[in-house]
A = this chain, B = another copy of it.
Amino acid sequence: MDNNGVALWRQISQTLASEIDEGVLSPGDRLPASADLASRFGVNRHTVLKAISHLQGEGLVRTERGGGIYVEKVIPYRMGARTRLEENLLEFSLAPSREILSVLDLRAPKKVAKALQIEPGDPTVLVTLVATADEIPVSLNQNYFPTARLPNIGSAFRELTESKEQNLATRAVLDAQGVTDFRRRSVRIRGRTPTQNEEQRLRMPPNEWVFEVEVTNVDADGIPIAYGVTSFCISRVEFTMEFDGE
Contacts and interface: CB of A to CB of B under 8 A. Distances in A.
Interface stretch (A93-101, A134-142, A155-163, A236-244): A236-244
Copies, count? 2
A16 B192 CA distance: 17
Interface string A64-95: 00000000001010011100000000000000
A191 B79 contact: no
Contacts of A164: none
Contacts of A80: 243
Nearest to A210: B191
Contact of A246 (B58, B81, B186, B234): B81
Given A58-B193, A183-B243, A243-B183, A188 B81 contact: no
Nearest to A56: B193
Nearest to A57: B193
B187 A59 contact: no
A243 B74 contact: no
A239 B188 contact: yes
Given A81-B243, A186-B243, A191-B191, 5 more contacts: A59-B191, A188-B239, A190-B234, A190-B238, A192-B235
Interface residues of A, number: 33
Closest 6 CB pairs of A and B: A57-B193, A191-B234, A81-B243, A190-B238, A189-B239, A187-B241
A241 B238 contact: no
A84 to B, nearest CB: 14
B186 A240 contact: yes
A211 interface: yes
A184 interface: yes
A239 B209 contact: no
A171 interface: no
Nearest to A232: B191
A87 to B, nearest CB: 16
Most B CB within 10 A of own CB, among A58, A207, A235, A241: A241
